[in-house]
Amino acid sequence: MIILESLLESLRAQAAILTHQSPVEDDAWQFMMSIFELGLLLEADPSRRPAVRGVLAETARHLDEEIGIIERFAWNTRTRHETGWSEDPDQWRDLCTRRSALAFFFELYEDSPLSARLPFINQAGLDEIMRDYASHGNLLPEEIPAHMPTRHWWWWLPGAPPS
């Protein structure tokens, strides 16, 4: 598992380089994958949540100025899977990972200075896409990342998460 301190330092550095001109598939992808890893780490060990609050507040100030990059990540997630879908299971895992990264982003920043901006990040249609492409799901249990919360139900499509 990734060491929390290293992950938080990486988040600081990645957030600092995000600008409205950042390439979504490079800078934003790296930042959002760090968010994904942080979300899983905190699911595995919720007692570490207080240790991340300061970094989230610090990065929220920068992200508030550059929220467009996160909006573009959400839009890109939606549109890249609306067109040119293939039955490649790697694309399904990619879609699940992106969806979870966005969910963790919203969860992590909901109590931060960025919280007022979160409603403006358009996620419309993402859950419908997940349901529409559910037939491409069927990930084996070992393909679902450890500590994935069942509220991220898309990982278990076309079935339901374990109860």
Does residue 163 lie within any of the structural domains? Answer: no
| Number of domains making up the chain | 1
Inside any domain, residue 49: yes
Full-model pTM: 0.91
With respect to residue 162, please indicate whether it lies within any of the assigned structural domains: no
161 lies in some domain = no
pLDDT band at 1 (very low <50, low <70, confident <90, very high): very low
Residue 20 has pLDDT above 80, yes or no: no
Distance CA 35, CA 128 (A): 23
Residue 141 domain boundaries: 4-156
Q: What is the pLDDT of residues 36-91, one digit of tens each?
A: 999 999 999 999 999 999 999 999 988 988 888 899 899 888 887 666 555 666 78
Q: Is the pLDDT of residue 139 over 60?
A: yes
List, as own/partner pairs, every contact residues 13-21 make where C-beta atoms lie below 8 angstroms and the sequence separation is at least 24, other chains included: 15/59, 15/62, 15/63, 16/62, 18/62, 18/63, 18/66, 18/69, 19/66, 19/69, 20/66, 20/68, 20/69
